Each structure stands twice: as structure tokens, then as C-alpha cells.
Structure 1
């Protein structure tokens, strides 16, 4: 038998329900992946990611700059000297990973083994990205 909830108890129940939903969302795989990614970003990269959902890295071999945008595929763009986006690249670890985990793997690969990462990558046509 369910007892009717009224007044202050109803308000408390709604508050607890919202709190539980927020806790579940905070512990969801995508949120955990985003937190791990942010922990590995420099302060400048973190600020860029928070503002634009992307961040720039420097390749370990060529010194070229790349922009990694939120996503799991075709989300890397090579930048020219003026910071303009050029060639698109697509590579990712094997498995069904959340965007934060994929982006962290891409960051580490480009910053430590750029040539090996690009040897496995596919070039993709530059498609203008949507901003949020």
C-alpha cells in the first residue's frame, strides 16, 4: 500500500529524486570519460575545451598543431600556421568508447607518437563543424 505524499514531504521527495538523477548522470560513462580527459588537459587546453568542446595539441614529430573536437570519429583537424583548420584525420582506439576516452587516446597518440598515429589514420574531407 502506498501512502499519499503531500506538502513538505512531497517537496523533499522531489529534491531527493533530482539529487539521485544528478548523481547517476555524474557517474555515467560519458561523464566519467569527460572528467578523465579534463584531468589530462593542460590549463589552456581545458579552458579551450570548456569554451569550444575542442582543444589543440602539438604533434611530437613534426611540431604541427592539431585540433581535437568532441566526438569519436573524423574529429581531428590539422591546423595551418594561422590556426586555420585544414586536413581532417580519423583514428581511434578499438572498442565502443565514450568521446572523452577516444579524445584522450588521440591526444596521447599525437603528442607522443604522431607519425605512427597518422600512419594508421584516414584522411577525411574537411567538413565545417557545428558549434554549440
Structure 2
């Protein structure tokens, strides 16, 4: 299962404030990220629920950018492809069958298309 990330309630909306783990909707709390903080005496995972701003929740795509950084839904990606004269910035979004821009630019391949994370939709661009 791919992890999620979100910004905790009460924290400024900045990239460095993302928490990572599993996403759940709790009836009395709302959106939470469950983060593994260790193990119990019987080696079961010890999880903590962190209430988060629901609109900042994004799932990992399972892909990494050209620098090896994991790409999440909501990331701003710059194409550094040699095929593109003017690199554009795209938002990584779920499109029903996959994450855009990977769906929209399905001609990409390992021989020329590269993406670099330059920010996300929840915080200032980090260019």
C-alpha cells in the first residue's frame, strides 16, 4: 500500500510540515494520518493518529522524480525532458486510471522524459 501525506491541523501550510503514513477518516476527529512510531511488546505496530487538514491529503504515486524524491498527489512537477523546448510545470492529480501528468503525457519513456518536484499545491513553489 502506498503511503499518504498531509499537513496537521494547527501547523502552517508548508512542505516541511507534512506528516507521512496511512490515511483514515475518523467519525469524531475527521481526517487523520496514522503514523508508525514503534512496536508494542508483542511486535505489533504502535500507531499514533495525527488530525490533518483534509484538503492537504495526497497519496504517493509509487514513482520518484529525477532526484529520487517520492512523487505525491498534489506535487508540482517540472518536465526536464530533452524533447520539450519550454519545460512546463504540471500538477500531479489522480485521473481515474493513473496519476496525471503521467496519464496525459503517456508518450514519456526512460529515454527522454524526466520530472522534477518543484513544490506542491498546498505550499509556495520551492523553485
TM-score by shorter chain over 0.5? no
Q: Structure 1 or 2: larger helix share?
A: 1
Larger Cα-atom Rg: 1
TM-score by length of 1: 0.29
Q: Structure 1 or 2: larger strand share?
A: 2
